[in-house]
Chain A
Amino acid sequence: MQRIGVFVCHCGTNIAATVDVKAVAKAMEKEPGVVFSTDYTYMCSEAGQTLVQDSIKKYGLTGVVICSCSPHMHELTFQKAIAKAGLNPYMLEIANIREQCSWVTKDIKVATEKAIVLARAAVAKVVLNSPLTSGTTQVTKRALVIGGGIAGMQTALDIAEAGFKVDLVEKNPSIGGKMAQLDKTFPTLDCASCIVTPKMVDVGQNENIRILSYSEVAEVSGFVGNFDVKIKRKARYVDEDKCTGCGACTEKCPMKKIPNEFNHNLNNRSCIYIPFAQAVPKVATIDPRYCLMLNKGKCGICSKVCQAGAINYKAKDEYIEEKYGAIVVATGYEQIKVDKYDEYAYSQSPDVVTSLEYERLMNAAGPTNGHLLRPSDGKEPKKIVWIQCVGSRETCDPTKGPARGKPYCSKVCCMYTAKQAILTKDHYPDTDLYVFYIDVRTPGKNFDEFYRRAVEQYNVHYIKGQVGKVTPENGKLMVQGSDLLLGEQVHIEADMVVLSAAIEPSPTARPLATMLTTQMDTNDFFTEAHPKLRPVESATAGIFLSGMCQGPKDIPETVAQASAAAAKVIGLLCKKELTNNACVAHPNEMMCNGCSQCQGVCPYGAITYVEKEFRMPDRTTKVRRVAQVNEAVCQGCGACTVTCPSGAMDLRGFSNQEIMAEVDAICQ
């Protein structure tokens, strides 16, 4: 039999002015289970808490009801207080008679009546409460970072600096990501590879970081502190440990006409290749799609020229399995495919390029060695037109087929266009540059100044309007657009057109989100746990977000988020063990019929099914499939409890019985 104590708080006059607290305390004396009931000016004060603790000892209380302010204010205070007196903290209920009674009701009689009902409901619930203990789980002191771009590298470095082991998974042969492909960075115009390659070297040399390049995450199970991850290491056909990166094989390889992805297919590479000079790890990779030896069984030249004997044509995809305490997603972005935009003639003329392709055309390590030459005829362009918002800020009518563009602003295009224009003018002052824009968006430190510099110092012609069509004609590109400020249609005979195509999350992000049971928005960006207050955590505990995979952002923002994610990971890995939420779902295995409904509604993937042996009344045993809740993962929302058709699932702290008792107490 429970022995309940009720304590009614005056809260100075906050409650006592409109609620007859003595009457409430007196009314509670008659409630079943209540052995002691009193009132006090400030329950949350030291003296008030002592009163509760003393009463617990004196009357042998097994449960406590505090009639006071909102549980959001002082539930934790009182939980700690009763725990000190030896009661389980979950043997406490709070009747909110301040925010939801005394402050919103003026008439004393009415307010007192309402307070009594609220207190009665709390008593009815606490009688049914049972002591709950939070479980704990161990934390594996190792982190996994998925994606080896600037975001992933920064996160990995920061975690490694703190002394934890990090595995960095990258799908491409080298880390470095998109930043390694850029020429310069805005608004300072420092060279991208000069700042990113030292970082890549740092990552490569850090003892705590293991780079798993040319690898992909294949399977994820487990939960915060204890993720089990299976990583697929794609066959490189080159032994990473033996290869010295000398490049002899790439020179001798007879297959030299393979589109070079690193240069956005603007030139060719050999079949065995090192993606770029500063690649980390600097080892060769054989492209199995084109290799003569792998496909036809003849050639083998690379194996003959390799002095280190690193070539292994018999290599196979391998899988490694590892345990991690935390996972950081840094899968980055791609530019959208612009071939759907017929009006911009991207598929018709090689001189219409995307901004990332233009970046490679300007890059000293690019296909033209930094000379800006038109892809069609290798001549220097004299007139270049940039088109902004290609595929950004577009809505679509879903009834008219799949969307061409993206509804969001890609955020970085305005700035990199100004950068590309300035750099072009720097190298080729006699070029004529035009930028068609809808709005120029430059929020950021020194950003607007930078854009104004392009206009004022470099005389880049910014035209407010959009291009309607681009027509290739006699080796030129006829650009027809509108100038909204002048109210004119403009016709430009351009040599090149650069499309500032929208960015979209990497296509690898969606399957990864499914594996990680994290949330994504409709644009396939990962959703943060809270848009303002928890921007680097996903809603799934132990999974963190870094960089463009969460939304469009520039390099400084990406690095800031990467370090923030690292700080969160370090905070998690530093813990000896994790305390779980005590109010979790738990199935009654005798009632569970193994239907899997609860598994489908659980947003955290906390429910699994196991085959379990049960002893039957006739002493035989029977194997049945029953639900099992992982208490480390369950957040206690209760979705499964209502879904369960057999009523087997219940929620600790908010059980069916407890809530029914509250309903009954209110409707007395």
Chain B
Amino acid sequence: MSVNENKEWKPLIVAFCCNWCSYSGADTAGNNRASYPDNVKIIRVPCSCRINPLFILRAFQRGADGVLVMGCHPGDCHYTTGNYHTRRRMTLLFSMLNYLGVESARTRVEWVSAAEGARFAEVVTDFTKTIEELGENRRLEDLRCKTN
């Protein structure tokens, strides 16, 4: 079977999910048969603090149109403090994304617990919509050169 042949553009979204909360949240969404866009492909990591900003940049470099970072709600981290590290790192990364040529709206940190299947579907649907509105990723081009 061929993939995406002669088809119009569909956003490609990579989601990093922590093993304990958001990956289980995605499973819960599945168990509840909540349907959400197929654009989102999940990568399982032990904790959201395992997500190196390089992974996100790599995804953009390779043509991803959006990257979702998902972890446990603050205070609920399986490793007690991992998601706090994530929050800080991602704030820092996002503040530099525009400079790198990626609209910062193409990334998002979301907290989804194992029970929040409906929320998982909601977040993913909403994020996909945002990315569709933003259009195709311009592959790390400097936006400052594009304006005017």
Q: Which residue numbers of A lie inside 8 Å of B, CB to CB?
A: 20, 23, 26-27, 70-72, 96, 98-101, 103-107, 110-114, 116-118, 121, 519, 527, 539, 583, 601, 603, 635-639, 641-643, 651, 654, 656, 659-660, 662-664, 666-668
B40 to chain A, nearest CB (A): 9
| A104 with B82, Cβ < 8 A, contacts A110-B38, A664-B58 known | no
Give Cα A527 to B12, complex, Å: 41
What are 28 A-B contacts with C-beta separation under 8 Å? A70-B30, A99-B27, A99-B30, A99-B31, A104-B36, A104-B121, A118-B41, A121-B41, A583-B46, A603-B81, A637-B47, A637-B78, A638-B46, A638-B47, A638-B50, A638-B82, A639-B47, A642-B52, A642-B53, A654-B46, A654-B50, A660-B54, A660-B58, A662-B43, A663-B55, A663-B59, A664-B62, A666-B14
| A104 with B62, Cβ < 8 A, contacts A113-B1, A638-B46, A659-B43 known | no
Give Cα A519 to B75, complex, Å: 12
Nearest CB in chain B to that of A636: its residue = B46
Give Cα A527 to B80, complex, Å: 10
B59 to chain A, nearest CB (A): 5
- B residues within 8 A CB of A637? 46-47, 49-50, 78-79, 82
Nearest CB in chain B to that of A98: its residue = B30
Check if A635 sits within 8 Å of B52, measured CB to CB: no
Give Cα A452 to B82, complex, Å: 48
Q: When the two chains form the complex, which single residue of B1, B33, B43, B89 contacts A666, counting CB atoms closer than 8 Å? A: B43
Specify which of B36, B52, B58 lies most central, judged by the most chain A CB atoms within 10 Å of its CB. B52
Q: When the two chains form the complex, which single residue of B24, B38, B47 contacts A114, counting CB atoms closer than 8 Å? A: B38
Q: What is the 8 Å Cβ interface bit string for chain B, positions 81-106, against chain A (1 contact, 0 not)? A: 11001000100000000000000000
Interface check B35, CB cutoff 8 A: yes
| A603 with B38, Cβ < 8 A, contacts A121-B43, A651-B50 known | no
Check if B64 sits within 8 Å of A667, measured CB to CB: yes
Give Cα A96 to B42, complex, Å: 9
Q: When the two chains form the complex, which single residue of A96, A638, A662 contacts B49, counting CB atoms closer than 8 Å? A: A638
Q: Which residue numbers of B lie inside 8 Å of A, CB to CB?
A: 1, 3-4, 12, 14, 23-24, 26-27, 29-31, 33-36, 38, 41-47, 49-55, 58-59, 62-64, 78-82, 85, 89, 121
Check if B26 sits within 8 Å of A99, measured CB to CB: yes
A661 to chain B, nearest CB (A): 10
| A667 with B14, Cβ < 8 A, contacts A99-B26, A100-B27 known | yes
Known: A637-B49, A637-B78, A667-B62. 17 other contacts (CB 8 A): A70-B23, A99-B31, A104-B38, A105-B35, A117-B3, A117-B41, A603-B79, A637-B46, A638-B49, A642-B51, A651-B50, A663-B14, A663-B55, A663-B59, A666-B41, A667-B63, A667-B64
Give Cα A92 to B24, complex, Å: 19
Give Cα A603 to B47, complex, Å: 13
Q: When the two chains form the complex, which single residue of B42, B54, B79 contacts A639, counting CB atoms closer than 8 Å? A: B79
Nearest CB in chain A to that of B57: its residue = A663
Nearest CB in chain B to that of A14: its residue = B30
- A residues within 8 A CB of B29? 99, 104
Give Cα A113 to B23, complex, Å: 21
Q: When the two chains form the complex, which single residue of A23, A519, A642, A664 contacts B89, counting CB atoms closer than 8 Å? A: A642
- A residues within 8 A CB of B34? 104
A106 to chain B, nearest CB (A): 6
Check if A639 sits within 8 Å of B49, measured CB to CB: yes
| A103 with B31, Cβ < 8 A, contacts A601-B85, A638-B47, A642-B51 known | yes
| A116 with B47, Cβ < 8 A, contacts A104-B29, A104-B121 known | no
A53 to chain B, nearest CB (A): 25
Check if A663 sits within 8 Å of B45, measured CB to CB: no
| A635 with B12, Cβ < 8 A, contacts A100-B42, A104-B35 known | no
Give Cα A603 to B58, complex, Å: 28
B135 to chain A, nearest CB (A): 17
B127 to chain A, nearest CB (A): 15
Give Cα A642 to B3, complex, Å: 34
- A residues within 8 A CB of B42? 96, 100, 118
- B residues within 8 A CB of A603? 79-82
A599 to chain B, nearest CB (A): 14
Q: When the two chains form the complex, which single residue of A106, A527, A651 contacts B35, counting CB atoms closer than 8 Å? A: A106
Give Cα A654 to B3, complex, Å: 28
B128 to chain A, nearest CB (A): 13
Give Cα A527 to B41, complex, Å: 35
Give 6 closest A-B pairs by Cβ, nearest first. A99-B30, A638-B50, A667-B62, A637-B79, A103-B30, A637-B47
A74 to chain B, nearest CB (A): 12
Give Cα A668 to B35, complex, Å: 24
Nearest CB in chain B to that of A27: its residue = B1
Nearest CB in chain A to that of B81: its residue = A603
